[in-house]
Amino acid sequence: MNILIVEDEPNYADTLEMFVDELGYHITGLAEEGQKALKLFRENAPDLVLLDINIEGEMSGIDLARIFQAERPTPVIFITSYDDKETFNKAKETVPCDYLIKPFDPDQLERSMELATVRAYAPSPDEDVFEDNRHVVLGKDFFFVKERNKLVKLMIADILWVSVEDKYCILHAEGKKFVIRQSLKELAEKLNPQEFVQTHRSHIVNIKKVEDIDLAQYTIAIAGEEIPLGKSYKENLLYRLQTL
């Protein structure tokens, strides 16, 4: 998950940077004033912004949050020394995911970051929220998969195929595997049917990644691996490949 940090106090900036790094997230930029923060936001498209209110320059953190939400709605967590009601009410107008008072508690910030991601990218209020250490939230073009204490961003286009083991789905990407507690049917409903097709009762493949099909052995080759092809799924797969 890509994080933008906007903080002009060196001690807090270093602390946030260290904390985010320890969680395993990627810091797309660190800014101490508004213009630099805006430039980093536009260039790097962060998934989440940790934003101080009182920063250097003409723009405040609240001003920045308004611009961010107008250009590309992005979850924002305010981290500030201001605990007065007037500042809070102004900040609230930008609809932040949280408003934390310095000195912040690392555990509280970690929970706020996780909840901010769920609220921002879950498709509906009924979407399951990380019931265990292996679950998923779907954004428009990507998944956020929870692994241990961090959220890992996986672009849907990078999924090669999906397989099933017991009650879990395994998302296979180049050199990586992501395990989520979800049925193949539930996952299939979240994938674009123009890009993904079921080829076996326990497999879904990204049809753009198919390298070859062995019609004698009923297997599909993707990234040097053989995926089973069920006889009842063959005709649909061939038809879909012809329509690409």
**CATH 2.40.50.1020 for the 136-242 domain, yes or no:** yes
What is the model's pLDDT at position 38?
A: 96
Q: What's the pLDDT at 127?
A: 45
Residues spanned by CATH 3.40.50.2300 within the chain?
2-121
Residue 228: asked if its preceding bond is cis (omega within 30°), the reply is: no
CATH node for 2-121: 3.40.50.2300
Predicted pLDDT at 244: 53
**Where in the sequence of the chain do the CATH 2.40.50.1020 domains occur?**
136-242
In contact, 114 and 151? CB cutoff 8 Å: yes
Handedness of CA 100, 116, 124, 88 (dihedral sign): positive
- Ranges in the chain, pLDDT < 50: 124-134
pLDDT of residue 135: 53
At 220 the pLDDT is 94
Contact 134, 149 (CB under 8 A): no
pLDDT for residue 130? 39
pLDDT of residue 122: 60
Distance CA 190, CA 228 (A): 22
